[in-house]
Amino acid sequence: MTALSVLDLVMVGEGKSFASAIDESRQLAQHVEQHGYGRYWIAEHHDMPGIGSAATSLIINQMAAATSHIRVGAGGIMLPNHSPLVVAEQFGTLDTLYPDRIDLGMGRAPGTGGPTIQALRRGAPERDFARDVVEVMDYLADNGRQPVRGVPGRHDVPVWILGSSLYGAGLAAALGLPYAFASHFAPRFLHQAIAHYRQNFRPSRHLSKPYVMVGVNVFAADSNEEADFLASSHRQWMTDLHVGRLGLLPKPREGYVESLPEHERGVLDQVMACTVAGDLAKVGAGLRQLVTQTGADELMIDSRIYEPQARQRSHRYAAQALGDLLTQPALA
């Protein structure tokens, strides 16, 4: 059995406003809650045109307020940008507002680059990520191991480690935490990382056995041709990112991939290797194959489709395609 999650970067489309992007995300959260999805993740990024999820905890609050039972969380908070105390207090507060519905995924990437890191960290020295994760957990547990207390006290917010390498897999295994692999944009070490995680997992009070989430780009439509057309927005944005042409989420384009120079097509093939695009049958076959290959307990779907109704339909079809495999998250 496999659970489904949504990853949302609150993409701002060409000709659209930030406010409309938030509203489209709110509508998507409400839609997927009705169609079997168990989690809705918001990812922290900064100084990246087209991504509106910089104030991650505020967006999480909006998504949780707009829904009734789906879990909402950070997929993830880029911990080097923040004080562990502040992160714990923000997510403890969210847990107070929305009991038993908040998740906290943390990663060690900055979610940005260059001068933006300096603007975020103000020249602070590099910190130890593993130690910061434990500090956040201490504050949430209110266990007295830190010299100060997080307000509002003890909270059972599930903590996840996010990653795209063996480092995150090893840390999640050592701490006995669930692990989410970012194969939707960095698939290279997917199988090595989850094997490393499972082989080295140490049961903890948080988790008795390994729990793996795998990221996948999904574009589902009524035909394979329409799915490829819808996917072109996501593919354009990713290509632009990797060649330094940052911008808003583009409108879809016919024949986009075929129009690319060979080297750009190669980059796109690498970064979006974990992608399923097609009609209901093709998407179902692709997702089931990914579950078989990885043994994923949960799939996290990234689907940057320009038109909101088509995006909602794609997520609905993905859930429908998994059918008998679909279950609610075990970690809830």
Asked if the peptide bond before residue 76 counts as cis, ω within 30 degrees of 0, the response is: yes
In a domain, 189, yes or no: yes
Mean pLDDT by runs of 10 across the 332 residues of the chain is 95 98 98 96 93 97 98 95 95 97 91 66 78 97 94 93 96 98 95 98 96 98 98 96 90 96 92 97 97 97 98 97 84 66
Arithmetic mean of pLDDT over the chain: 94
Candidates 180, 162, 236, 279; CA nearest to 11 is 236
What pLDDT was estimated at residue 110? 64
In a domain, 151, yes or no: yes
Q: Which residues, at least 6 apart from 121, have a Cβ–Cβ distance to it below 8 Å?
A: 80, 81
In a domain, 225, yes or no: yes
Asked if the peptide bond before residue 152 counts as cis, ω within 30 degrees of 0, the response is: yes
The answer on 280 and 171 residing in a single domain is yes
3-class DSSP state of 274: coil
The answer on 242 and 153 residing in a single domain is no
The answer on 250 and 202 residing in a single domain is yes
Query: In this structure, what token pair is assigned to residue 78?
Result: 């880029």
The answer on 198 and 116 residing in a single domain is no
For 305-309, the CB contacts below 8 A with 24+ separation are 305/219, 305/230, 305/231, 305/233, 305/234, 305/252, 306/13, 306/14, 306/230, 306/233, 306/249, 306/250, 306/251, 306/252, 307/230, 307/252, 308/24, 308/27, 308/28
What pLDDT was estimated at residue 122? 67
- Give the structural domain span for 100: 7-157
The answer on 326 and 205 residing in a single domain is yes
DSSP-derived pairing of the beta strands 71-78 and 212-220: unpaired
Domains in the chain: how many in total? 2
Cβ–Cβ < 8 Å for 268, 238: yes
CATH code of the domain covering residue 25: 3.20.20.30
What is the Cα Rg of the chain in Å? 19
Q: How far apart, in whole angstroms, are the C-alpha atoms of residue 187 and residue 273?
A: 7
User: CA distances (Å), 25 to each of 68, 115, 191, 200, 307, in order?
Assistant: 15, 29, 31, 37, 12
Distance of CA 29 to the CA centre of its chain: 14
pTM of this structure: 0.94
DSSP-derived pairing of the beta strands 159-163 and 39-42: unpaired
What pLDDT was estimated at residue 332? 61
The answer on 170 and 152 residing in a single domain is no
Last residue of a domain, one of 132, 157, 182: 157
pLDDT in tens, 64-122: 999 999 999 999 999 989 999 999 999 999 999 999 999 999 999 765 567 766 777 76
* Geometric angle at alpha carbon 137, from 136 and 142, rounded to 5°: 100
Query: In this structure, what token pair is assigned to residue 306?
Result: 């320009």
In a domain, 332, yes or no: yes
In a domain, 2, yes or no: no
What pLDDT was estimated at residue 52? 97
